[in-house]
Amino acid sequence: MTTLVYVPRETSAVSVGADEVAVAIARHAKEAGESIELVRNGSWGASWLEPLVEVVVDDQRIAYGNIAPEDVGSLFAAGFLSGGKHARRLGPIDEIPYLIGQDRWTFWRCGLIDPLSLDDFRTHKGFAALEKAFADGHEAVLEAVAASGLRGRGGAGFPTGIKWRTVADARGTQKYIACNADEGDSGTFSDRMLIEGDPFGLIESMALAGFAVGANKGYIYLRSEYPLAHAILSRALETARHNGWLGEDIQGSGFNFDIDLHLGAGSYVCGEETAMLESLEGKKGIVRYKPPLPAFEGLFGKPTVVNNVVTLASVPNIVRLGAERYAALGVGRSKGTLAFQLAGNIKRGGLVEKPFGITLRELIEDWGGGTASGRPVKAVQVGGPLGAYLPASQLDTPMDYEAFIEIGAMIGHGGIVVFDDTADMAQQARFAMEFCALESCGKCTPCRIGSTRGVEVIDKMIANEDREANYDLLIELCDTMEDASLCAMGGMTPYPVRSVLKHFAGDFRDPAGGSK
Amino acid sequence: MTHTTIDKASVSAIVSKRGARPELLVQILQDIVMQHGWVSEDVIRQLATELNLSRADVHGVVNYYHDFRTSPPGRHIVKICQAEACQSMGSRELTAHARARLGTDLHGTAGDTTLEPAYCLGNCACAPAVMIDGKTLGRVDNERFDALVSAMRGAG
């Protein structure tokens, strides 16, 4: 009898030894004369338990967490292939509290399936939404997306239904779907996890978008820092094409759609939609003026849907299960779920998909278990390098686009980076300006020059030079950048800076890790 | 993967595989850097001719993107994430350690190894993260860093 063993092939798992664990398991099985089938699945998102290995016993997947290659011998000695007792045994995967408490709408196949098996994907409702769309027509898809209340998960939160409708109604026969997989915000990895764990899911989502708006060509702009995601997605695209799920007349529907995969080249600002379009056209990633919006004049001047990976990947279940079910989740105008990413100094880091409305405290304490260092939480940066640093007193803020705007913060792409009380927040404010200076595309002056001046002013404040005057100057600089920058790079870099001035001003007076 | 000179034929091969279209310039440069490690002045000249672009256009794109090095790197490339999630787990200290261990500043090369910053490797739940010769590694403290560097050099 062949035993099924799962070892993730996902960047975080591999980064802490999953490949070596897989090799060790194969070797030990061979030596013991046991027949196993090794499946390299995606990650369930419990990154803190990686490498997380599963073995199928009586149709149940038994999990073992934090397995190092040198643990494999003892696993076999403990009868791991029949679910034997071991210090690292976690029990059935579907009883792990971190996972069962989640509402997996978009990431439900991640971890569950073999990402590169089209059969496995089909068994788990793969392409069912696209088939439904072919049957119901493109108008039904547009209506479902609008009714779901889905908003862009890349950070801007623009209603997806309105964007798709605009492109569908735009003049012209050539239209494009451009998928933004340039996930550059620190603290975020949900796009990567989805691509590595459910690449066919993204392909189906893009085909759905193309069918809905009348586009026959899609582009994925994937950052070059994700080589494993690139390898997995390239394979999946080939397989989909080979099996008639991409290309001419998909499954006899009469609908043509294909996808080109493009790599970024290390520019953060290329995550901004118009800079990304420039880069897709082979140019410098310099931000465009808006209007015209990409929905009217996007890639190569044609109407283009630009959506983030997670936005697109939320659509198949909206089509398949109904917009009402999605809209019933969440709070206020923040409908549905978001894949929160717990990162940085946190004990149980990973991906937690929950409806909007959950508080930061619940995510950080209940799911995350507090800091990795065991020290008190000092600050939490939500939404990447352009997001505010929130003090512990704001942890009860619900995750809701509008609630975050009210406190001068943003949810962004759902990344949550925790800092303990050793963090020097003056240095973090400085880094915000430094990063902007490094990554600014240079088109607008407030961002290009303002960021460099910002670093200088903060350095003077840290050095206790004319602190009052420099404080006023920094505020004025933040005002200028916020009001006059062309895109969010310069326009939101002041968010983290202001939040440090507001909540952690003491760190300018008493730096080097003082939590005063 | 690193060469001090880049032969014309290999660049032409990449261009014809991708297609000699200006909109593919970023992709072509990415292929060249993956194969050779960097982009030379000669390559810029050649691409301008083959893609029917001005040298200034190609030069501008090469200089814009961090990935497109304009000098040959060492045989090994070590990147250390400098972004916030890794900062919260001590990447500044790890970077200082790496600089001392490898004997070079960021963007520099010492012996066979080039040290570079990265701004997020997407491994933020297993911080701090580094990338060695294209492989992302997580939960890297000083001791693990030293072991990884030894293994890298041992592997040749």
Whether ipTM tops 0.85, in short, is yes
Q: Is the pLDDT of residue A184 over 90?
A: yes
Secondary structure E strands in A133-196: 176-181
Check whether A515 has a pLDDT greater than 50: no
CA A311, A315, A317: angle at the middle one, nearest 5?
130
Residues of A within 8 A of B67 (CB-CB) are: 224, 264-266
B58: alpha, beta or left? (left if phi > 0; alpha if psi -120 to 50) = alpha
Which residues on A lie below 8 Å from B131 (Cβ)? 225
From CA A193, how far away is CA A310, in angstroms rounded? 10
Same domain, A88 and A132: no
Same domain, A363 and A397: yes
Q: What is the CATH number of the domain that holds A378?
A: 3.10.20.600
Give the closest-approach CA distance of B112 to chain A in angstroms.
22
How much is the average pLDDT of A88-111?
97
| Residue pLDDT, tens place only, A52-63 | 999 999 999 999
- Predicted confidence at residue A416, as pLDDT, reads 98
Q: Please report whether residue A234 resides in a domain.
A: yes
Round to whole Å and give the CA distance between A63 and A48. 14
Distances (CA, A) of A160 to A107, A115, A144, A189: 19, 26, 11, 21
What is the pLDDT of chain B when averaged over all its residues? Answer: 96
In a domain, A289, yes or no: yes
Contacts of A268 in chain B (CB under 8 A): 119
Q: Same domain for A122 and A158?
A: yes
Phi first, then psi: give them for residue A123, nearest 5 degrees: -60, -30
CATH classification of the domain holding A14? 3.40.30.10
One domain, residues A398 and A451: no
The third-level CATH classification (topology) of the domain covering B76-154 is Glutaredoxin (3.40.30)
Written as one letter, the residue type at A313 is A
| Other CB atoms within 10 Å distance of the CB of residue A362 | 18
pLDDT computed for residue A514 by the predictor: 41
Are residues A167 and A287 both part of a single domain? yes
Which among A47, A263, A286 is the nearest to B125, CB-wise?
A47
Q: A197 and A267 in one domain?
A: yes
In a domain, A154, yes or no: yes
The answer as to whether A516 is a domain residue is: no
The Cα A194–Cα A200 span in angstroms is 10
Q: pTM score, two decimals?
A: 0.97
Domain assignments of chain B as residue spans, ordered by start:
8-64, 76-154
The confidence score (pLDDT) of residue A360 equals: 97
Average pLDDT score over residue span A100-119: 97
- The kind and range of the H/E element at A60 are strand A60-64
**Look-up: residue for tokens 């499946």?**
A39
- Bridge partners for A354 per DSSP: A338
**A269 touching B, CB under 8 A?**
no
The total domain count for chain A is 4
Say yes or no to pLDDT of A134 above 90: yes
Domain enclosing residue A214, as ranges: 118-326
A111 located within any domain: no
Give the model's pLDDT for residue B3: 66
- In this structure, the answer to whether residues A161 and A298 fall within a common structural domain is yes
By CB atoms closer than 10 A (0-12, 13-18, 19+), residue A409 is buried
> Which residues, numbered 23 to 52 in chain B, qualify as contacts with chain A under a Cβ-Cβ cut-off of 8 Å?
23-27, 29-30
> Which of A420, A450, A470 is the endpoint of a domain?
A420
Same domain, A254 and A317: yes
Judge if A378 and A443 occupy the same domain: no
State which of A374, A404, A420 marks the end of a domain: A420
Same domain, A259 and A307: yes
Name the pLDDT band for A433 (thresholds 50, 70, 90).
very high
DSSP codes, A299-325? GGGS-EEEEEHHHHHTHHHHHHH-HHH
Q: Is the pLDDT of residue A130 over 60?
A: yes
Kindly report the CATH number assigned to the domain that includes residue A230. Answer: 3.40.50.11540
Bridge partners (DSSP) of residue B114 are: B77, B109
End-to-end CA distance of chain A: 62
Structure tokens at A51: 């490498």
In a domain, A106, yes or no: no
- Do A139 and A259 lie in one domain? The reply is yes
Q: Count CB neighbours of A394 within 10 A.
A: 20
Query: Taking CB atoms and an 8 Å limit, are B85 and A281 in contact across chains?
Result: no
User: Maximum distance among all alpha carbons in chain A?
Assistant: 76
A343 in the same domain as A321: no
Cβ-defined contact of B134 to A227 (cutoff 8 Å): yes
Domain boundary among A393, A420, A447: A420
What is the per-residue pLDDT across A254-305, written as a single tens digit (0 to 9) for each? 999 999 999 999 999 999 999 999 999 999 999 999 999 999 999 999 999 9
- Answer whether A205 touches B (CB < 8 Å): no
